[in-house]
Structure 1
Amino acid sequence: MADIQIRDWQGKEAGKASLELRVAKESSANALVHRAVVRQLAHARQGTASTLTRSEVRGGGRKPYKQKGTGRARQGSIRTPLRPGGGVTFGPKPRTYTKAMNRKERRLALRTALVSRLENLVVVKGFAADLETPKTKEITAALQRLGIAEGSKVLLVLDGASEVVRRSVRNLETVKLIAADQLNVFDLLHANTLVVSEEALAKIQEVYGDD
């Protein structure tokens, strides 16, 4: 179990919260999390790159010149890979980059990645609760009050973010908003700081703490 300091909207201490998640053994944690990251990045690839082989390139049905007597190398088609405009040898074809990883391993990797970032985790009570209209400056000022350096990558984890908060955050290139029940390993490790609302922390414990 880990005890986490809770801050209010002004950045002052407002209590403590606990997070209890089962993580991987130290001997296998790095390998497990690495597999999860590789799998996630692989699944993000479209796999739609495609080239034409010599049999798929249009034209080339007629022999370009006679077999003998020209002094040149024999050619049976102008669409050979040896000529400009010809087919591609061993070029890419549409494929899937899917990697298998069972559900228990994926959840264990996610919990391990989250616990490894506890030092960079900031829990906020009532995040933007009083924000009535979209204001990016208010979010930026709040992050500064929480001690987060300007320009650092922030993963903002909320439970049911309002439209006002979404519109306030969307113009910040270094801030990514994500739901508490849709965490992923890459985003947890990629961000410099994790900002989690008190409600989102409870949701994380509920969703990921039952294994």
Structure 2
Amino acid sequence: MAKTALYNMEGKTIGEVELSDEIFAAPINEAAMHLMVRSYLAAQRQGTQSSLTRGEVRGGGRKIYRQKGTGNARHHGNRAPQFKHGGVVFAPKPRDYDLAVNKKVRRLAFKSAMTTKLNAGEIIVVDKLELKDAKTKLMAETLKKLQAEKKALVILPEREESIIRATANLPQAKVSYVNTLNVYDILNADKLVMTVAAKESVEEVYA
């Protein structure tokens, strides 16, 4: 089984922890990860943009001048796209940008992302994450001791209010739960900080 160092909140190594080969030593599939990132980013788009076509713009019902004899081009209404206040050609309309990805590909992408992070030495497993007070300063100090002060993704097995509140004002840190993990957040983070309990939960859910 794959292994990595186990740290305490002071950033000191206190032993080793075994990691599931099925998740942390899986074959890396870049195409699956790319598809999942595309799917995640597409899902963030609201798709509410809308413009009016020439058939929807108000006005323009009367022919602007006679068909022949003026020397001008032949026109009907003045709401065609080439006129001021005219409609939009191929006007954008509300749409759904969601990109469907099947379950097997999602799991493959997740395992590939976790393996990539472990190979890069960017996974930090901590015995526990507990704060005396839900203060940003305490969380910032903890991440600094763990050398994860840049862009960190803190993975928790379940909701812990003190950690969430203490991390909320840290622009470089983000909290995620095991059941809400996604490939984009994993790859976008410089370091993954997870507790032993979160590691075990990840192995149980995604193995």
Aligned length: 203
1:69 CA drift (Å): 4.0
Q: What is the aligned-residue identity percentage?
A: 42
Matched residue of 1:14: which SS? strand
1:15 CA drift (Å): 2.0
**Runs (5+) with no aligned partner, structure 1:** none
Inter-partner Cα distance in structure 2 for 1:101 and 1:189:
18
Q: Which shifted more, 30-39 or 164-173?
A: 30-39
Inter-partner Cα distance in structure 2 for 1:69 and 1:105:
65
1:77 CA drift (Å): 0.7
Task: Report if the CA contact (8 A) 1:113-1:185 is conserved.
Answer: yes
> Which position in structure 1 is the counterpart of 2:12?
12
Q: Output the TM-score relative to the length of structure 1.
A: 0.89
Which residue of the other structure, out of 122, 125, 128, is the alignment partner of 1:126? Answer: 128
Inter-partner Cα distance in structure 2 for 1:39 and 1:191:
18
What aligned pairs does 1:166-185 form with structure 2 within 5 A after superposition? 166-185=164-183
What aligned pairs does 1:136-175 form with structure 2 within 5 A after superposition? 136-148=136-148, 150=149, 152-175=150-173
Task: Report if the CA contact (8 A) 1:33-1:113 is conserved.
Answer: yes
Inter-partner Cα distance in structure 2 for 1:172 and 1:137:
9
Can you list the C-alpha shifts for 1:98-145, whole angstroms capped at 9, x where unaligned?
A: 223210111111111111101100111111x2x232210111111111
Inter-partner Cα distance in structure 2 for 1:139 and 1:100:
37
Task: Report if the CA contact (8 A) 2:117-2:123 is conserved.
Answer: yes
Inter-partner Cα distance in structure 2 for 1:154 and 1:52:
44
Inter-partner Cα distance in structure 1 for 2:22 and 2:40:
21
Q: Output the TM-score relative to the length of structure 2.
A: 0.91
Inter-partner Cα distance in structure 2 for 1:94 and 1:162:
38
> Which position in structure 1 is the counterpart of 2:31?
31
CA-atom RMSD in angstroms: 1.6
**Runs (5+) with no aligned partner, structure 2:** none
Inter-partner Cα distance in structure 1 for 2:191 and 2:80:
54
> Which position in structure 1 is the counterpart of 2:191?
193
Q: Which shifted more, 88-97 or 186-195?
A: 88-97
Task: Report if the CA contact (8 A) 2:157-2:197 is conserved.
Answer: yes
> Which position in structure 2 is the counterpart of 1:54?
54
Matched residue of 2:175: which SS? strand
Q: Which shifted more, 171-180 or 98-107?
A: 98-107
The one-letter code matched in structure 2 to 1:52 is L
1:21 CA drift (Å): 4.2
Task: Report if the CA contact (8 A) 1:21-1:208 is conserved.
Answer: no
